Amino acid sequence: MKQIRLRRISSGLALAAALFAAPFLSAQAQQHAHVHGQLKLDVAIDGPTVVIDMESPLDNIVGFERAPKTAAEKKTAEDAIAQLRAADKLFAIDPAANCKLGPVELRSSALGLGNPDPSEPAGHADLDATFSFNCTNAAAAKFIDVNLFSAFKGTRQIDSQIASAQGQFKRQLKRPAGAQAAQPVRLNLGK
């Protein structure tokens, strides 16, 4: 993977945009990735912030890829949205970083959330999110305990990219088997 040299960037969002757009821009421009069971997490640690960008087929989160039709589907969508808004339960950042949940932005055309991607193919709805955490020592974070597998049964694999002062890393997390699927999975943020 081609390394990107980043100069000091004052915003975690700017860091995330610079890191994740450059190496993968041509692949994203060619095709919108949408693989059931898989979601993408991009983690940027910069200054006092940890920003997590998530891209997922809606099916991974609620079990269908369209606007909810029945009362049961509407309840499932409402419950999933509530879980995502409580992102500090889904992402437990290393206590050494002393992070508190900041703004949460959710985007899904099927669920009527935010400003969704206009290039999203019909019949293949996504749910994208940005979770911001404000920390007193973000650079001290060595891991994030990820609870997405237990929260969203349709998720089988998480492909992540991490940008921090230590460098850039890729990680892949797989759904644990059996009873361990209810436990958080640790995402290491460094070497």
pLDDT tens-digit series, residues 47-80: 999 999 999 999 999 999 999 999 999 999 999 9
Is 100 inside any structural domain?
yes
| HSE-CB of 31 using CA atoms within 13 angstroms | 4
Q: What is the pLDDT of residue 179?
A: 65
Note the pLDDT tens digit of each residue in 22-54.
443 333 433 445 788 899 999 999 999 999 999
Is 181 inside any structural domain?
yes
Is 3 inside any structural domain?
no
Is 71 inside any structural domain?
yes
Is 4 inside any structural domain?
no
Is 7 inside any structural domain?
no
**Domain count across the chain:** 1
**Structural domain range at position 30:** 12-188
Q: How far is CA 106 from the centre of its chain?
A: 11
Exposure string of 125-148, with b = 16+ CB inside 10 Å and e = fewer, is: bbbbbbbbbebeebbebebbebbb
Is 1 inside any structural domain?
no
Is 39 inside any structural domain?
yes
Query: What mean pLDDT is predicted for residues 111-137?
Result: 84
Cα 147 from Cα 125, distance rounded (Å): 22
Cα 1 from Cα 3, distance rounded (Å): 6
Cα 25 from Cα 2, distance rounded (Å): 13
